[in-house]
C-alpha cells in the first residue's frame, strides 16, 4: 500500500523567504505526482503535475522536482508572499487512485 | 474551466439518519471520486467510479455506498450515519484524456450528532 509522508507538518516564514516543502512515498511505481493547495475550509486546487518520466515542472514562482527512484518530491516556492499561506498537499497516482500526504501548513508572515 | 459542484457546504445530521451527498461535474469526465479528509490523516479514498453504474472500493468504504446513474453525477450515501463519520467530504473528477488531473469540489463539512 502506498504511503505518502510530508515533512514538516507546519512551517512559518517571513515574507520574501523561499519555501521548501518535502514529500516522500514508499512505492516508486507511480504514474505521476501532483501538488495541491488547500485554503482553510475549501477544496483542493491543483498546482503542478509531474509525470513519472519527468524530473521537474515549473509554473511561475513554483518549481517541483521528482526523484522517483528514491521516492521523493520537493516543492519550491520562490519569494514567498502572505497570499501563499495555505496547506500544501502532495499526492501520487497508482492506477486510478491518488494517495495523499497529510499536508504541510504554511504561514507567511508579512 | 472544470467545475465540480457539491450540493451542500455544511450539513448537520443525527445518528442513524440516512445521508446523501451529491456531486456534479460539467466536463464529461469518466472518473469520479469521493474522499474524506480528517486532521492529521490527509485525504482518504472512500469510493471511485470509472464509468456509469461502475464503482470500486477505495481504502475506507465501510459504512458508505455510492451511486452513479448518470455520467455527471456521483452520490455518496451514508446508510446509517454515525458520529465517527463527522468529517470533510471531497468529491473529485478526472479524465484519461486530460492526463487524469483530479479536479475537486469545495467540500461538504458533515457533522453527525
Please check whether residue A87 touches B, CB under 8 A.
no
CA distances from A35 to A38, B8, B22, B74, B102 (A): 10, 26, 26, 24, 11
pLDDT tens readout for residues A62-108 = 999 999 999 999 999 999 999 999 999 999 998 777 899 999 999 99
pLDDT tens readout for residues A14-72 = 999 999 999 999 999 999 999 999 998 888 999 999 999 999 999 999 999 999 999 99
Contact: B109, A41; criterion CB under 8 Å: yes
Contact: B103, A46; criterion CB under 8 Å: yes
C-alpha cell at B51: 464509468
Q: Which residue has the cell 469526465?
A: B29
pLDDT tens readout for residues B45-58 = 999 999 999 999 99
Euclidean distance between CA atoms B51 and B38, whole angstroms: 28
Please check whether residue A105 touches B, CB under 8 A.
no
Amino acid at each position: 500500500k502506498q504511503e505518502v509522508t510530508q515533512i514538516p507538518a507546519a512551517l512559518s516564514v517571513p515574507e520574501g523567504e523561499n519555501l521548501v516543502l518535502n514529500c516522500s512515498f514508499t512505492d516508486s511505481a507511480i504514474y505521476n505526482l501532483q501538488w495541491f493547495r488547500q485554503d482553510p475550509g475549501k477544496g483542493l486546487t491543483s498546482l503542478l503535475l509531474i509525470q513519472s518520466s519527468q524530473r521537474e515542472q515549473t509554473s511561475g514562482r513554483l518549481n517541483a522536482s521528482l526523484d522517483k527512484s528514491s521516492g521523493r518530491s520537493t516543492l519550491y516556492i520562490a519569494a514567498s508572499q502572505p497570499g501563499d499561506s495555505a496547506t500544501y498537499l502532495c499526492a501520487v497516482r497508482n492506477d486510478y487512485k491518488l494517495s495523499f500526504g497529510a499536508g504541510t501548513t504554511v504561514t507567511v508572515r508579512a | 474551466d472544470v467545475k465540480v459542484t457539491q450540493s451542500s457546504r455544511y450539513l448537520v445530521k443525527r445518528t442513524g439518519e440516512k445521508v446523501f451527498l451529491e456531486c456534479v461535474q460539467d466536463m464529461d469526465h469518466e472518473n469520479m471520486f469521493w474522499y474524506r479528509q480528517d486532521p492529521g490523516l490527509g485525504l482518504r479514498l472512500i469510493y471511485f467510479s470509472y464509468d456509469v453504474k461502475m464503482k470500486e472500493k477505495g481504502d475506507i468504504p465501510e459504512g458508505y455506498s455510492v451511486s452513479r446513474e448518470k455520467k455527471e453525477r456521483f452520490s455518496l450515501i451514508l446508510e446509517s450515519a454515525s458520529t465517527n463519520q463527522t468529517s470533510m467530504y471531497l468529491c473529485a473528477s478526472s479524465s484519461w484524456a486530460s492526463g487524469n488531473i483530479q479536479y475537486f469540489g469545495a467540500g461538504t463539512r458533515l457533522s453527525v450528532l
